[in-house]
């Protein structure tokens, strides 16, 4: 039997007990997971894919917290700075989100020419 990689599911490995649990599986198999990033302290995980949405998950509770829309293409990179989350899209735009508030979009930086970002 041939095994296939599945880029639509996100698994979390527990270093304490060695268990591996599926956090989520996307229904749309064309919406591949492109980037994941843990918050600096805590169990919150940001995940992005080809749809342009950024999802926040509580990995300890295996619970979806919210979906933040705004990008129009694949979000290839994510980075945290406390409660702020930067998401970089292949269209050259970087969105800054304040995850504490409902109106999460703080600002957009345009003209970014590289995929990688880092927030300090």
The answer as to whether 93 is a domain residue is yes
Structural domain boundaries enclosing 90: 9-109
Q: What is the CATH number of the domain that holds 100?
A: 2.40.128.630
Structure tokens at 40: 């600096």
Give residue-wise pLDDT tens across range 62-97: 999 999 988 888 898 999 999 999 999 888 899 999
CA–CA separation, 62 and 65 (whole Å): 10
Q: What was the pLDDT predicted at 120?
A: 45
The answer as to whether 15 is a domain residue is yes
- Domain count within the chain: 1
Tell whether the model's pLDDT for residue 2 goes beyond 70.
no
Q: What was the pLDDT predicted at 6?
A: 59
Residues facing 25 on adjacent strands:
9
Q: What was the pLDDT predicted at 30?
A: 66
Structure tokens at 62: 């295996």
The answer as to whether 58 is a domain residue is yes
């Amino acid at each position: 039997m041939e095994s296939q990689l599945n880029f639509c599911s996100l698994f979390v490995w527990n270093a304490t007990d060695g268990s591996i649990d599926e956090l989520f599986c996307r229904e749309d198999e064309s919406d591949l997971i492109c980037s994941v990033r843990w918050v600096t302290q805590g169990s919150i995980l940001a995940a992005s894919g080809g749809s342009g949405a950024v999802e926040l998950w509580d990995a300890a509770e295996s619970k979806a917290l919210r979906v933040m829309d705004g990008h129009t293409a694949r979000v290839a990179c994510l980075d945290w700075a406390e409660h702020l989350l930067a998401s970089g899209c292949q269209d050259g735009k970087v969105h800054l989100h304040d995850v504490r508030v409902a109106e999460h979009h703080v600002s957009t930086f345009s003209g970014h020419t590289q995929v990688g970002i880092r927030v300090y």
